[in-house]
Structure 1
Amino acid sequence: MSEKTGRECTYLFCKYVIELYHDIYLRHPTKSDVKQLYVVHQAKHGFPGMLGSIDCTHWEWANCPNVWRGQFTRGDHGVSTGILETVASNDLWFWHASFGMAGSNNDLDVLQVSLIFNDIFQGKATDMSYVVNGDEYKYVYYLGDGIYLECVTFVKSYTFTANDKRKMFKLAQESAKKDVERAFGVLKQK
């Protein structure tokens, strides 16, 4: 098959996948979806207002063209990889997915080009208020690891647990973060 035919077939395949599944799978969560996620996450993990866990994974690209290897190879991996940022809930539903561009080698680089916060930045985000310890919050949040920025939309676990209460909170967060790690595991099954 020629390179042009391969590109055209791939383009048409993607076009029809989007056409078939856009309304179900390729969309932002609705207000109803978010309310349901609030209920499930609070029941399972005890975290009100949480949409899911956010994380990145490197995906080995075995057939990466030689001319691109330098752009997609990171020293600690030693092979060409693509990086995928996702928000996944405990039912393995991906509410957000963004592949990093060439040269984006860590979570922060991918986050800078990600569209996940566009609605908030543009003032279009749906008000999905929730209350924690008597304080009302307007937007959803995501559990993330220590690399993410200090931001109200990220809740990171404690690095130093000074007391039993913080230790319990850290364990609960790490348990909830397993949702996205499990979703990555399902995607990477061979």
Structure 2
Amino acid sequence: MRMIAYEVPADSVDDYIQIGESTAIESLRKFVISINQIFGEQYLRSPNKIDIKRLTKIAEKKGFPGTLNDINVLDRSNLFSEWAQGRAPKVNYILNGHDYDMGYYLADGIYPPYPTFVKTISAPQGNKGKHFAKMQESVRKDV
């Protein structure tokens, strides 16, 4: 899992799991194949219209209408490559009396300043700012 999550080389994990590099690579390969076979069609794909409706309804109940989810790996996400090419999923919602048709993503400070990223307030002032930061930080990890 460290090889996937942190992109560490196979020979760096042999100290704590006591297996050789080739065994670690083969185990990782079998794990990835299994995950693709079990979850590929349902989860390892771009969201469809049904997924987008479901995600935005969940987010709306939590106070963030139009939110899709948090993307942890920006440069590897199909969502963002589609968005960059002008093919972003259509998300319709009304906020403060204004109609919107593009979703947004709750993100933290590591993401670039794109208009579709709503970041937390790093040093919130007042109850309203503190409440927003608390809610944004608690919801942004929902996927």
Is the TM-score greater than 0.5?
A: yes
Match of 1:129 among 79, 82, 92: 92
Match of 2:67 among 50, 53, 76: 50
Distance 1:136 1:10, change over 3 A: same
TM-score calculated relative to the size of structure 2: 0.66
CA contact (8 A) 2:89 2:103 kept: no
Query: Higher helix share goes to which structure?
Result: 2
Paired position in structure 1 for 2:8: none
Q: TM-score scaled to structure 1, two decimals?
A: 0.52
Distance in 2 of aligned mates of 1:25 and 1:151: 25
Q: Which amino acid aligns with 1:142?
A: Y
Alignment root-mean-square deviation, CA: 3.0
Q: Any residues of structure 2 matched to 1:74-153 within 5 Å, and which?
A: 85=72, 98=73, 111=74, 113-115=75-77, 116-153=79-116
Unaligned runs of 5+ in 2: 1-20
- The alpha carbon displacement at 1:12 in A equals 6.6
What's the counterpart of residue 29 of structure 1?
Answer: 47
CA-to-aligned-CA distance 1:144-168 (integer Å, 9 cap, x gap): 1122222122111112323322222
Per-residue deviation, residues 101-155 of structure 1 (Å, max 9, x unmatched): xxxxxxxxxx3x3234011112222211222112222222211112222212211
Q: After superposition, what is the alpha-carbon deviation per residue over 1:67-101, rounded to whole angstroms, capped at 9, x for unaligned?
A: xxxxxxxxxxxxxxxxxx3xxxxxxxxxxxx4xxx
Gap change, CA 1:23 and 1:168, over 3 Å in 2: same
Question: Which structure features the higher share of strand residues?
Answer: 1
Matched position secondary structure for 1:146: coil
For CA contacts below 8 A with separation 6 or more, give which structure has more relative contact order: 1
CA distance in 2, matches of 1:16, 1:135: 45
Identity of aligned pairs, percent? 36
Count of residue pairs the alignment pairs up: 123
The residue that corresponds to 1:88 in the other structure is none
Report how far residue 46 of structure 1 moved. 0.8
* In structure 2, C-alpha distance between the alignment counterparts of 1:139 and 1:36, rounded to whole Å: 15
